[in-house]
Structure 1
Amino acid sequence: MASTAAGYFRRLARRITTDVDTLDAREMSETSEASGAQRACDCSRGEEVTVLGRLRSVEVCPQAAAATLEAELFDGTEGVTLVWIGRRRIPGIEPGRTIRVHGRLAERDGRKVLYNPEYELKCTS
């Protein structure tokens, strides 16, 4: 019984002293995995992937030929850049929103990218 109490207090102390961002990343990773989505850190270029995560940032990038809407998706393990070519705005695509995306993973400047991914907005309840 003493070891059970010690284990409880050790876990409690770890939870109290752990950084909030670390706890949030762990929770997002567990939610993503439980939903059947792939972890971004396990995805490789060229694979067809489904990733669930939270949008950290959303911005319009007016480039030479066509504007693009870019968003940074974080699933608790790694970030994936989402790029919608020719779009300036998509209703519901906003920072803090949880979404599930599907597409073929590419790489740009050493970062994982999904171009024009299919997406599903998730309710945050």
Structure 2
Amino acid sequence: MPALSARLRRLSKSLRTSREHLEAEDEERSASRRGTDPIGSLASRQRARVSGVLQAVTYRSSQDKPILVGQLYDGTGSIDLVWWGRRRIAGIKPGAHLLAEGRVADGIHRQQIHNPAYQLLGPGQ
């Protein structure tokens, strides 16, 4: 039975990996269709127009200054969208699709765009 259990674990992992790969391809196609810059190829200090899905949204407080951070994923990579002075923004939540514009900056974990101009995208946009 241990061999069967190991096979089932490998199959389960394979299915998850396939699903993640398909989702990444779908996001990459959508971003390409919108004519946005691939996140995975951005350079620091360039103006960028990116789109994708928010994978995570977190709130941080820095010396009494609120900071809202959304991790945007487009299938080629992720970038943090950082809104200074904001605790929440209507529609900015995990799973939301959006288009954002701004100047790319280097961050600790990944590149960032500070106070981006953004547009929430509906289904099929």
TM-score by length of 2: 0.83
Letter in 1 for 2:45: G
Give the number of equivalent residue pairs.
110
2:34 maps to: 35
Q: Which amino acid aligns with 2:20?
A: D
TM-fit CA distance, 1:124: 1.9
State the partner residue of 1:3: none
Match of 1:88 in 2: 87
Q: Which residue number corresponds to residue 47 of structure 2?
A: 48
Larger deviation, residues 61-70 vs 114-123: 61-70
Percent identity, aligned pairs only? 30
Deviations 1:14-51 (A, max 9, x none): xx966101100011001101110010011100000000
Q: Note the residue ranges of structure 2 that are not aligned, 5 or more in a row.
A: 1-13
User: Moved runs in structure 1, 4+ residues, more than 6 A?
Assistant: none
Q: Measure, in 2, the Cα distance between the counterparts of 1:111 and 1:97.
A: 20
Per the alignment, residue 26 of structure 1 pairs with: 25
Structure 1 residues without counterparts, runs of 5 or longer = 1-15
Q: Secondary structure at the match of 1:28?
A: helix
Cα distance in 2 for residues equivalent to 1:28 and 1:60 = 25
Question: Are residue 78 (structure 1) and residue 77 (structure 2) matched?
Answer: yes
What is the deviation of 1:121? 0.2
Give the CA RMSD over aligned residues: 1.5
State the distance in 2 between where 1:28 and 1:111 align.
19
CA drift of 1:65 comes to 3.9
- Between the aligned partners of 1:77 and 1:56, the Cα distance in structure 2 is 14
